[in-house]
Amino acid sequence: MRRTIASLAAGFLMALAPAAAWAQAAAGGNASLLQVMVDSAHTPAEHQALARYFRAQAADAKALAEAHQSMSRSYSGKPGELRNMNKHCDEIEKLNQQLSAQYEAMAKGEEAAAAAR
């Protein structure tokens, strides 16, 4: 019985190893590696790894949007040309909010692909 449980546990860990490697590779941010991962994703674990990557990207974009929102408020009280910097920050905030939403949609798509397998 112990041998069976140990064998099952070892097999389970070996099955998860490729998905863990996928998640680490995606986190590295290498665009061509990401392309290969997207092209070759077939297993639920691979699609889940991509979903986690896209969710992390969404969170990063949202954080950047929030930082620029804060800077925009700071610039609005400044004199002269600095006052116009809030327009720059507002645009970057808007673009990053949109980017965050796109990454969230990609994550949902990967989760759906994982569930369909």
- Summarised one tens digit per residue, pLDDT across range 62-100 is 999 999 999 999 888 888 888 789 899 999 999 999 999
CA nearest neighbour of 54 among 84, 16, 26, 17? 26
Residue type at 20 in one-letter notation: A
Instruction: Show the DSSP H helices in 28-116 as ranges.
Output: 31-40, 44-75, 85-116
pLDDT in tens, 90-99: 999 999 999 9
Number of alpha carbons in the 13 Å side-chain half-sphere of residue 76 = 9
SS3 30: coil
Which pLDDT value is given to residue 21? 56
The mean per-residue pLDDT over the stretch 6-34 comes to: 57
Contact present, 51 and 107 (Cβ < 8 Å)? yes
pLDDT at residue 58, as a whole number: 98
Q: Which residue has the tokens 């990967």?
A: 110
Question: How many other CB atoms sit within 10 Å of the CB of residue 22?
Answer: 23
